[in-house]
Amino acid sequence: MWEPYLGTSFKDRRLLLLGESCYSWIDKAGERCHPQQDHPHLTVGWAIKDIPRTDHPLCQMMTRGLCGKYAPSLEARRAAWASVAFTNYIPVTVGDNPRVRPKKAHWDQAANEWRDLLATVKPRNIVVIGKQLWDRLPHSDDEVADIAKVAVYRLTDNSPVTCRWMYHSAAGGSWRTLMATIQALETA
């Protein structure tokens, strides 16, 4: 399991942003880099520092959605990320570029670690970023009326964890959609 990023004030909000997977990359020196256990922390670091960069569209979308504006200040970015948690569902690299899809073994590993992730993070709400990820999450613990967009899991203390999904930035998801999804979760 990745080491999830937990913002310093996460316990006040208990919102988890859940990405699908990550991949290896070439750094500025031309060396291949593979994600390590702390990859979610690295991703949040990129999201806070590099909002103008176009090579991190998911980071841009998440930061803008958390801040509720297109060009948030560095101070606003730091505050927004301090209030949430982030990790990827699949806890290993899936390949060498962003278009590589997870294999069955990746999905199986993530499903086997799902309950441990919930127990570690203890979120109240989860935004699931990606329809394919949503479709591959383990079956929810509770029946809900709007099963196309909502799932409810239970922590070991039986408290509910409500999940909603949205499209990934690579599939048309936007920061405004993320903002609305968070609002729907937190006002339900």
**Interval 122-181: pLDDT, tens:** 999 999 999 999 999 998 888 675 556 889 999 999 999 999 999 988 788 899 999 999
* 186/170 Cα distance (integer angstroms): 25
* Domain tally, the chain: 1
Q: Domain with 31 in it: what CATH number?
A: 3.40.470
In whole angstroms, how far apart are CA 79 and each of 39, 47, 141? 20, 12, 33
Distance of CA 156 to the CA centre of its chain: 22
Residue 52 has a pLDDT of: 56
What range does the domain containing 91 cover? Answer: 5-187
Q: How confident is the model at residue 38 (pLDDT cuts 50, 70, 90)?
A: confident
